[in-house]
């Protein structure tokens, strides 16, 4: 499959993404969206785990030497270039194989809808969750405000997902991102039962073979629970 993909990519003059693509990630972090997108896109890659507490690799080397910002995801393509930021990385990965339709073509209304969701997830959800995780000293008042903001955003997502399977007319990279970010709710004991369509959506995305495979490989789901 990977060899077949690489051949196709060469024909499309999109050779980046392949066996020597590296993804720096950490289990359960936002890099999970990139792992899902790479697998959904059928792109062969090497996964490298980063300890986000120490910013070191298992061998003790410093992650800051690779990524001065210190965060994941970071993708290194086979030309050696390194890129961060989940939303544009997802967009780029979606474009690598147009036949998989993980993102609609540039300039189409469908593309605008996916970019809108990617940005919504990045700015309204991801960065509302983030302070709780990465800064132990976050004030209680900030946490309360974040919870309230997330509640309104989840209610909107719930309405958007009523009567539809995915955020747009089919599974796209925006769903990979939304799925992993909303799932952080479980770690923070945020009750999702007021949002039944959102809960059903999370279950639907989790049941996709490539998503399930990713969750199992990342140790985020036990094989007997799958
Ligand atoms: N602006 C980045 C933020 C990525 C981010 O927040 N990564 C978190 C994990 S979800 C991280 O690595 N935090 C550890 C740190 O910043 O040191 C993006 O949108 O991809």
CATH number, domain containing residue 84: 3.40.30.10
Contact assessment for residue 66 and residue 23, using Cβ atoms and an 8 Å cutoff: no
Assess whether 134 and 87 both reside in one domain.
no
Exposed / middle / buried, residue 10 (Cβ in 10 Å: 0-12, 13-18, 19+): exposed
- Do 58 and 38 lie in one domain? The reply is yes
Output the CA 127–ligand 1 centroid distance in Å. Answer: 9
User: Does one domain contain both 150 and 188?
Assistant: yes
d(CA 133, CA 129): 7
137 and 169: one domain?
yes
Question: What angle, 0 to 180 degrees and rounded to 10, lies between the N-to-C axes of helices 140-161 and 196-206?
Answer: 80
Q: Which pLDDT does position 15 carry in this prediction?
A: 43
User: What pLDDT is attached to residue 136?
Assistant: 83
Q: What is the pLDDT of residue 17?
A: 53
Q: Using a 6 Å cutoff on CB, does residue 52 contact ligand 1?
A: yes
Q: What SS3 class is residue 68? A: coil
User: How many whole angstroms from 30 Cα to the centroid of ligand 1?
Assistant: 7
72 touches ligand 1 (CB under 6 Å): yes
- Say if residue 82 is in the same domain as residue 115: no
pLDDT score at 184: 96
Number of separate domains in the chain: 2
Q: What is the CATH number of the domain that holds 129?
A: 1.20.1050.10
**Quick one: 9 and 68 in the same domain?**
yes
In a domain, 95, yes or no: yes
Instruction: Chunk the chain into consecutive blocks of 10 residues (it has 226) and report each block's average pLDDT, rounded to whole numbers.
Output: 31 49 96 98 96 93 97 96 98 96 97 98 96 82 94 98 97 98 94 98 98 96 76
Indicate whether 34 belongs to any domain.
yes
Containing domain of residue 35, as a range? 2-100
Q: Which atom of ligand 1 is nearest to the CA of 55?
A: 17
pLDDT at 198: 98
pLDDT value of residue 147: 94
Burial string for 15-39 (b: 16+ CB within 10 Å, else e) reads: ebbbeebbbbbbebbbbbbbbbbbb
The confidence score (pLDDT) of residue 14 equals 37
- What is the model's pLDDT at position 10? 33
Q: Cβ(85) to ligand 1 under 6 A?
A: yes
Domain presence at residue 13: yes
Does residue 225 form part of some domain? no
Q: What is the pLDDT of residue 18?
A: 56
Q: 125 and 85, same structural domain?
A: no
Q: Is residue 223 situated within a structural domain?
A: no
For 77-106, the pLDDT digits (tens) are: 989 999 999 999 999 999 999 999 999 999
User: What integer pLDDT is reported at residue 146 of this predicted model?
Assistant: 94
**How far is 189 from 16, CA to CA, in rounded Å?**
39
**Residue 6 domain-assigned (yes or no):** yes
pLDDT score recorded for residue 19: 64
Asked whether residue 12 falls in the same domain as residue 92, the answer is yes
Q: What was the pLDDT predicted at 223?
A: 76
Q: Which two tokens stand for residue 164?
A: 């539809």
């Amino acid at each position: 499959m990977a060899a077949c993909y690489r051949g196709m990519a060469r024909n499309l003059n999109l050779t980046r993404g392949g066996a020597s693509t590296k993804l720096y990630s950490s289990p359960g972090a936002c890099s999970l969206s990139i792992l899902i997108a790479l697998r959904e896109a059928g792109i062969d890659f090497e996964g490298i785990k980063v300890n986000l507490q120490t910013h070191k690799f298992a061998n003790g080397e410093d992650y800051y030497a690779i990524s001065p910002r210190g965060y994941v995801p970071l993708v290194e393509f086979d030309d050696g270039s390194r890129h961060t930021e989940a939303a544009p990385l997802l967009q780029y990965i979606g474009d690598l194989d147009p036949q998989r339709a993980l993102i609609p073509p540039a300039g189409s209304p469908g593309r605008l809808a996916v970019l809108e969701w990617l940005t919504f997830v990045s700015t309204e959800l991801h960065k509302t969750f983030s302070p709780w995780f990465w800064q132990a000293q976050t004030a209680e008042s900030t946490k309360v405000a974040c919870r309230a903001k997330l509640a309104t955003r989840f209610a909107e997502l719930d309405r958007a997902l009523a009567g539809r399977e995915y955020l747009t007319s089919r599974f796209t990279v925006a769903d990979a991102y939304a799925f992993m970010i909303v799932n952080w709710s479980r770690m923070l004991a945020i009750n999702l039962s007021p949002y039944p369509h959102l809960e059903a959506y999370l279950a639907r995305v989790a049941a996709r073979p490539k998503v399930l495979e990713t969750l199992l490989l990342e140790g985020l789901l036990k094989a007997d629970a799958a």
